[in-house]
Amino acid sequence: MQLVMPLFVLLIMKKSGNILFYLIIIYILAAGSWWSYLLHSKNQEVKNAQLEKIRYKLKLERVADIEDSSEMKTVLNRYKRQRWMIIGEGSVFMLILLFGLWRIYRIRQKELALALQQQNFLLSITHELKSPIASVQLVLETIQKRQLTNEQLQKLSTNGLKDNDRLHKLVQDLLLAARVEGGYEYSFSEVHMNELLVECIAWIRPKYSGKIIFEPAENVIILAKGERSTLATAFSNLLENAVKYAENSEKINVKLYKKKDQVAVEIIDEGVGIPKSERNKIFNKFYRIGNEDTRKTIGTGLGLYIVKKVIEAHNGTVTVKDNQPKGTVFSVLI
């Protein structure tokens, strides 16, 4: 509840801030338009006054064709140039002003989106921490207060260890996210990718009811230059993401093969898929599809962010596309 209130306040501030921002834009545009109108009007008044003065002077001198006199044409040409100068400079000023306002709007929207994502992260991290902590506490209190059979004790211990692993993974992701963002120095060596992926699959397998099918290149041991621990975290995060969004599917395929001079890994699920509009955002820090009030899957919005940072540090790329007939394919090249 303590975190829901700041989120509610943020939304109210965003709404009122938008109204104020639009009012300021309207005021600036109106003021600029009014300034241009006044400048044009004053220029017209001065021109008319000078023309009247010239007409009066030429009448006294009995000039036959006053309107075609050289003096009248000179004044008209001069004020015509001034009029176009006012229009040109006013147009340039308004275009620069509009561009500046547009840039301010874009930056402001990004800041608000980041603030909202951070609020969502606080909500999700609170839930991620509270659930396993409460579960471990309940296990310990039960062991302390009750006489349990070996079977009951074994079951409670298993549940407690699962929740402890969940906390460990969460802390590991938080620390790694901070490290890869703060100029972390990787220690590269030769990594046996077959073994690495087998270990990652073994770690995620208990969390998935379907089959995880590993398809390495036949009779080929694939090696890559990289840091084993961070690569293991990256591929574990991709597998965990596949399990979360394809928990009711029958299988997840993991492919490993060589593609020219690069190592290619594909993680293919048959889940709900990722909308095209979201694919450029899912690797952003704290970003999660939906919001904390409606989404059902657990997570912090750091998993895919860590994946992208780690793979890029290995001079690689990670991309996402649709699986057919349904699901998602994450492709990694390193």
Q: Which of 5-9, 22-26, 121-125 has the lowest mean pLDDT?
A: 5-9
Is residue 299 predicted with pLDDT exceeding 70? Answer: no
**Residue-level pLDDT at 1:** 44
Is residue 25 predicted with pLDDT exceeding 60? Answer: yes
The pTM assigned to this predicted structure is 0.60
> Does residue 325 have a cis peptide bond before it, meaning omega lies within 30 degrees of 0?
yes
Average pLDDT estimate for 222-250 = 90
Is residue 84 predicted with pLDDT exceeding 70? Answer: yes
**Residue-level pLDDT at 2:** 43
Three-state DSSP at 231 gives: helix
Bridge partners (DSSP) of residue 214 are 254
**DSSP β-ladder status, 262-268 and 223-226:** unpaired
Written out in words, the top-level CATH class of the domain with range 127-181 is mainly alpha
**pLDDT band, very low/low/confident/very high, at 266 (cuts 50, 70, 90):** very high
Average pLDDT estimate for 255-265 = 91
**Residue-level pLDDT at 19:** 76
Q: Which of 26-35, 116-125, 234-243 has the lowest mean pLDDT?
A: 116-125
**Residue-level pLDDT at 56:** 73
Q: What are phi and psi of 65, to 5 degrees?
A: -110, 90
**pLDDT band, very low/low/confident/very high, at 121 (cuts 50, 70, 90):** low
Q: What is the pLDDT of residues 171-205, one digit of tens each?
A: 887 788 778 777 788 899 999 999 999 999 999 99
Tell which CATH architecture fits domain 189-333.
Answer: 2-Layer Sandwich (3.30)
H or E stretch covering 211? strand 211-216
Q: Which of 64-68, 71-75, 204-208, 273-277 has the lowest mean pLDDT?
A: 64-68
Angle between helix 70-145 and helix 150-181 axes, rounded to 10 deg: 150
Average pLDDT estimate for 61-87 = 72
The number of beta carbons lying within 10 Å of the beta carbon of residue 63 is 16
Q: Which of 51, 36, 48, 45 is nearest to 85 (CA)?
A: 36
**pLDDT band, very low/low/confident/very high, at 11 (cuts 50, 70, 90):** very low
- Contact 227/186 with Cβ under 8 angstroms? yes
The number of beta carbons lying within 10 Å of the beta carbon of residue 32 is 15
Is residue 3 predicted with pLDDT exceeding 50? Answer: no
Where is pLDDT greater, at 176 or 287?
Answer: 176
Reading the block at residue 117, the tokens are 């994502």
Where is pLDDT greater, at 236 or 14?
Answer: 236
- Average pLDDT of the chain? 80
Is residue 257 predicted with pLDDT exceeding 90? Answer: yes
**Residue-level pLDDT at 325:** 82
Average pLDDT estimate for 258-274 = 90
